[in-house]
């Protein structure tokens, strides 16, 4: 792991180090892409419900969003 370091055109690093950096960046991007794709696939129904609601109404409040996807708003406390 190389850590949080900034490299630019003037940085004197070897071609092998550049390859390692490129490989790490590619792996991170691919991992993030796969994770995002899986999140979307596993929530596809909710995504379509939200899209339909947004076509009807340009913006949704948090309360409306929870209602559209059939979830209870965690910020609203139940009356005891």
How does pLDDT run across 18-29, given as a tens digit for each residue? 899 899 999 999
pTM of the complete model: 0.62
Q: What is the average pLDDT score of the chain? A: 88
Higher pLDDT, 20 or 6: 20
* Contacting residues for 64 by C-beta, under 8 A, at least 6 apart: 53, 57
- Among 23, 20, 41, which Cα is nearest to 31's? 23
pLDDT score for 52: 97
What Å distances lie between residue 78 and 61, 66, 74, CA to CA?
Answer: 19, 15, 9
């Amino acid at each position: 792991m190389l850590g949080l370091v900034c490299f630019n055109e003037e940085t004197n690093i070897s071609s092998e180090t550049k390859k390692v950096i490129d490989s790490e960046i590619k792996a991170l991007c691919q991992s993030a892409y796969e994770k995002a794709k899986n999140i979307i696939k596993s929530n596809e129904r909710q995504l379509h419900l939200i899209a339909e609601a947004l076509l009807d109404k340009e913006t949704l409040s948090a309360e409306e969003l929870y209602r559209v996807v059939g979830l209870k708003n965690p910020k609203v406390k139940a009356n005891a």
